[in-house]
Structure 1
Amino acid sequence: MAHSGEVLEFEEYVRTRQDALLRSARRLVPDPVDAQDLLQTALVRTYGRWDGIADKRLADAYLRRVMINTRTEWWRARKLEEVPTEQLPESAVDDASEQHADRALLMDVMKVLAPKQRSVVVLRHWEQMSTEETAAALGMSAGTVKSTLHRALARLREELEKRQRDELVAGALDRREERERCAA
């Protein structure tokens, strides 16, 4: 059971860090509601272990690790429930600005990565953690972080190139159909 001083300390930590932690959760799961659920679940789990975190400066790393583990648990559970379909649903892209479209595309492309790869990309590129910090947060060696990041970035490039090719082909087919309609 936490003492009242620890409860106040945890509440202050959450109050000061919640925006940054929610951004981390949002990068780990694309849906904003799921990101809030992920953060809340991680906070509950962290609260139960708060007194065990001797150096509170490491609380962010601890909490991010809890979020990654929780997201992985959810992914494994969901994976068993998913049923493949022939057609993918159309993805909605916010066309308010090019930046939003790029972000939506990147979040969509990140879905092709395995949870471990996604975690490494998020921590290294969004959270701007060093290789060593990422390795410590994920419980792996620095070499594994580097090789996982290399494979993940290659997979992202491959997916982006594939999507670009698909768009070019679709555009060419649309123009061809338009010419045929005009000629008829």
Structure 2
Amino acid sequence: MAQGEVLAFEEYVRTRQEALLRSARRLVPDPVDAQDLLQTALARTYGRWDGIADKRLADAYLRRVMINTRTEWWRARKLDEVPTEQLPERCVDDSAEQCADRALLMDVLKVLAPKQRSVVVLRHWEQMTTEETAEALGMSAGTVKSTLHRALARLREELVSREREACALEREERERCAA
């Protein structure tokens, strides 16, 4: 890569790093994994930087690399989770309602398949249009719409289910205290 291209890439990373890290953070729940995801995507993009003719599309290109990398990681993950009858209580250090809502949302997003999660993140967090999302993910606008519809329905189901579980646990606790 020519020296000018190296400098251009370094400047791009310097100016867009925070926004790109936010995108990575929305794709993977763990902050350390998000940093790893961004670094991996930047390393992969660096080798192809001179091939991006229109640098205004660099964000879209990098998001696509992050999504592909996250999908690779998801497929290669070791499944050592053990299903249980009840979910453990979720501990929230900060009592602020906004932080609790964000933590719940990040946790609930885990029930979505990677494709669904990507569509939700790009449409609702990144505020991309349907067409921009379709282009970033390499799918048709109709597929984006139907995937988003199914993903939001799945999220609603999960939230209702969790609310029912919380009410049942609360009722059991009241009955125990009354006895």
Q: TM-score range by the shorter chain?
A: over 0.9
Q: Which runs of 5+ in 2 are unaligned?
A: none
Q: Distance in 2 between matches of 1:141 and 1:165?
A: 36
Note the C-alpha offset of 1:110. 0.0
The one-letter code matched in structure 2 to 1:159 is E
Paired residues for 1:1-184 under 5 Å: 2-78=1-77, 81-87=78-84, 88-180=87-179
- After superposition, give the CA deviation of every residue in 1:56-107 in whole Å (9 maximum; x if it has no partner): 00000000000000000000000xx212414355433232411110000000
Change (3 A) 1:86 1:142: closer
> 3-state DSSP class of the match of 2:139?
coil
Aligned Cα root-mean-square deviation (Å):
1.0
Amino acid at match of 2:137: L
SS in 2 for 1:72: helix
Equivalent pair of 1:94/1:100 in contact (CA under 8 Å): no
Supply the distance in 2 between the matched residues of 1:131 and 1:29 (Cα, whole angstroms): 22
Aligned residues: 177
Q: Percent of aligned pairs with the same residue? A: 79
TM norm structure 1: 0.94
Aligned partner of residue 111 in structure 2, secondary structure: coil
> Residue type of the partner of 1:49?
R
Higher alpha-carbon deviation: 106-115 or 93-102: 93-102
Show CA shifts across 1:35-74 (max 9, x none).
Answer: 0000000000000100000000000000000000000000
Q: Is the 8 A contact 1:42 1:70 kept in 2?
A: yes
**Residues in 2 aligned to 1:86 and 1:116: alpha-carbon distance in whole angstroms:** 23
- Structure 1 residues without counterparts, runs of 5 or longer: none
**Matched residue SS, 2:92:** coil
Q: Counterpart of 1:91 in 2: which secondary structure?
A: coil
Structure number with larger C-alpha Rg: 1
3-state DSSP of counterpart to 2:148: helix
What TM-score do you get using the length of structure 2 for normalisation? Answer: 0.96
Taking the aligned partners of 2:88 and 2:170, their CA distance within structure 1 comes to: 19
